[in-house]
Amino acid sequence: MHLDHDPAAPPADEIGFDDFLKVDIRVGTIVEAEVYEGARKPSLKLRIDFGPGVGLRKSVGQVRARYAPEDLIGRQVAAVVNFPPRQIGKAVSEALTLGFADEEGRVVLFSPDAPVPDGSRLF
């Protein structure tokens, strides 16, 4: 499946509500962030605390074009937590941190606009 980042693209194929419920999107707080040296695209390695139900997860995000590691510590983000771990170069990503492309194609992280408990599920 190819993801189209073009804002003028038509919507993806319809899915049932039960299919949506299979995707477990949670909020977590970034507790560590560092530059991922050697990545093909400007990326950061993140460690995110999703609370007691999910725990700490590693995520690799192509967010370095907009964010410095030190600016992300303490920030809440949304991520898919029920994909299998994925090898990204020499790193393993255990959660897919979510974002949108800006006008220049840089990733803007998806976050709640007010603090919520870590581990809260999107509905």
Over the chain, what HEC string results? CCCCCCCCCCCCCCCCHHHHHHCCEEEEEEEEEEECCCCCCCCEEEEEECHHHHCEEEEEECCCCCCCHHHHCCCEEEEECCCCCEEECCEEECCEECEEECCCCCEEECCCCCCCCCCCECC
Supply the range of the domain harboring residue 51.
19-109
Q: Is residue 43 part of a domain?
A: yes
Q: What does the pLDDT read at residue 1?
A: 44
Average predicted confidence (pLDDT) for the chain: 93
Reported as a pLDDT band with limits 50, 70 and 90, residue 2 is very low
Mean pLDDT along residues 27-50? 95
Q: What does the pLDDT read at residue 7?
A: 83
Q: List the CATH number of the domain containing 39.
A: 2.40.50.140
Q: Is residue 66 part of a domain?
A: yes
Q: What does the pLDDT read at residue 9?
A: 87
Q: Is residue 81 part of a domain?
A: yes
What tens digit of pLDDT does each residue of 63-101 get? 999 999 999 999 999 999 999 999 998 999 999 999 999
Q: Is residue 33 part of a domain?
A: yes
Q: What does the pLDDT read at residue 3?
A: 59
| Structural domain count of the chain | 1
Taking 90 as the threshold, does the pLDDT of residue 40 lie above it?
Answer: no
Q: Is residue 74 part of a domain?
A: yes
Q: Is residue 118 part of a domain?
A: no
Taking 70 as the threshold, does the pLDDT of residue 4 lie above it?
Answer: no
Q: Is residue 48 part of a domain?
A: yes
Taking 90 as the threshold, does the pLDDT of residue 109 lie above it?
Answer: yes
